[in-house]
Structure 1
Amino acid sequence: MKSLLRWSVRLGVVSSAVAGFLVSMVPNSIALPQEQIVQKLQQVPVFTVADENGSPLVASGDDDSQVTGVFMSQQDAQDFVGRLQEENPELGEQVQVVALSLGEIYQLEQQNQQNGEGLNFAYVPTEEQVNSAVSLLEQQGQQVEDFQGVPLFIARSSQDEGYLTVEQNGQQIIPLFFEKQQLRGMIEQFEQSQPEQANSVEIDVISLQGMVQTLEQEDDPQLEQVELVPSQESLEFIQSVQQQQQQQQ
């Protein structure tokens, strides 16, 4: 939990203070050391279902593989536990929602791959953001029935294909949002500050899994600018944890 608290102040800055904008050309590839990838993912809280000892609730597949769910929304995870308590009270009463960081999940995935263990993670995005991603792709002329993975939304200029960046602590970052609504808020501020470019900004959607794979495999230091911005629900969760820690102290 300390890893989440460490990012709480910074996330507040990213999500609200967007005084400086820049449209810049950034290549579509990057290769980062694993510790830097973990650091980028560490700021995002995710939620799993586990027993009181921390053992995750797993489902077994036909090939004997084991899968545990990783919810992007705490409310979705709580709703899942609620349904489980109704359908299987004995099991449902033994589990609870546990918060981790996306960086910790990534590290567990890497360890599982190295050790040849069979536990897999199934990421569960929010239905609202999946629908937003599908709608956006359809508007762009693509035929899609469903969006595979967790959607991330990013703004770019239709004039030069550069990504919209935000100035933070004297540096330009490229924010990737888990909620389309949050990105829309940033774009509206950009349009107010630079009305001459108001019609040039478009929204793209990519998958979280694809973004991580690109960070792992490609080679371009400029994409160190990429920063993940958690959903509003997740930001409120981080703030609540911080307040609880302060009260305890």
Structure 2
Amino acid sequence: MLKKKSLVNTIRNASIVGATVVSCWLAPMGKLLALPQEVIVEKLQSIPVFTVADEQGAPLVATNGENQNQRVAGVFISKADANNFVQQLRQSNPELGGQVQVIPVSLGEVYEMAEANANQPDGIRFAYVPRQADVEQARRLNSEYRSGVPLFVATAGDDQGYLTVRQGNQEFIPFFFEESQVRELVEGFKQSQPDMADSVQIEVVVLEGMISALEQGDDELLERIMLWPSQESIQFIRENTPQQ
């Protein structure tokens, strides 16, 4: 368990930039110290997300209602949600719907594309679409949550240190896309540390704020962040990883 709790505040206070959905409970921060882009990409690379693209693989885009020159593409956290969107599109607009398909892509690749488009006036912006079930859990746990893709992290102890997982010789702070996953970590911790069970808390931050914090934050614990794929994503990875 890592004992410093400032990381959650660093993420919450990170300003939303680029192609993200603005969440009104995140405020700008002052001191900036970016992690290298390749480090950010590596942290995001293991998370599959899903876009709707045409037959050539170009993402389906919509124009911003306030800025007709700004093009926005949806990035679904859930493949099922992306499939449902395509099915609805095929019913409402059969001609367009018949030309698109759901394409898996890593979150790291989306981040790289967003960075490449950030300084182009007509570049594509990416809007992340969370699962509704995760949104509802986030609202239950944090009344300040308004929008964005929720992530769940657990803390415990008098100083509310982070519950960690070990990979090799290092400890990492897992941020989960599903509340049920962080609950599993919490239950394991309570069994091993029953005297600290009552101190456990589950915090909610948003993916968009985390990405911004990775770019701008000055907290050394940012390097310890590990994004934990949802159960749906884990199943997708297993089904699409060649057997060795």
- Which residue of 102, 117, 124 maps to 1:112? 117
Give the structure 2 partner of residue 216 of structure 1. 215
Deviation for aligned residue 1:158: 5.2
- Which residue of 80, 88, 109 maps to 2:85? 80
CA distance in 1, matches of 2:219, 2:2: 18
Select between 95-104 and 162-171 the one with higher mean Cα deviation: 162-171
TM, length-normalised to structure 2 = 0.85
CA distance in 1, matches of 2:201, 2:5: 15
Q: Does residue 45 of structure 1 match 2:44?
A: no
Amino acid at match of 2:238: Q
Q: How does 1:10-29 map onto structure 2 within 5 Å?
A: 22-28=1-7, 29=10
Contact 2:71-2:122 within 8 A present in 1 as well? no
Q: How does 1:93-172 map onto structure 2 within 5 Å?
A: 93-138=98-143, 142=144, 147-157=146-156, 159-172=158-171
Give the structure 2 partner of residue 70 of structure 1. 75
CA distance in 1, matches of 2:104, 2:6: 34
Higher helix share: 1
Contact 1:23-1:157 within 8 A present in 2 as well? no
Give the structure 1 partner of residue 60 of structure 2. 57
Give the structure 2 partner of residue 3 of structure 1. none
Deviation for aligned residue 1:165: 1.2
Report the identity percentage: 50
Q: Deviations over 1:38-70 (max 9, x none)?
A: 100111100000011101111112311211110
Q: Deviations over 1:193-240 (max 9, x none)?
A: 111111111000001111111111122333211100010000100000
CA distance in 2, matches of 1:224, 1:95: 38
Amino acid at match of 1:25: K
Structure 2 residue ranges without an equivalent (≥5): 11-32
SS of match in other structure, 1:115: coil
SS of match in other structure, 1:55: coil
Contact 2:50-2:105 within 8 A present in 1 as well? yes
Q: Deviations over 1:148-175 (max 9, x none)?
A: 1100000012520221111221211000
CA distance in 2, matches of 1:221, 1:234: 28
CA distance in 2, matches of 1:78, 1:41: 22
Deviation for aligned residue 1:116: 3.6
Deviation for aligned residue 1:26: 5.0
Count, aligned residues:
218
Q: Deviations over 1:9-56 (max 9, x none)?
A: xxxxxxxxxxxxx24225424741111001001111000000111011
CA distance in 2, matches of 1:23, 1:68: 37
Structure 1 residue ranges without an equivalent (≥5): 1-21
Give the structure 2 partner of residue 92 of structure 1. 97
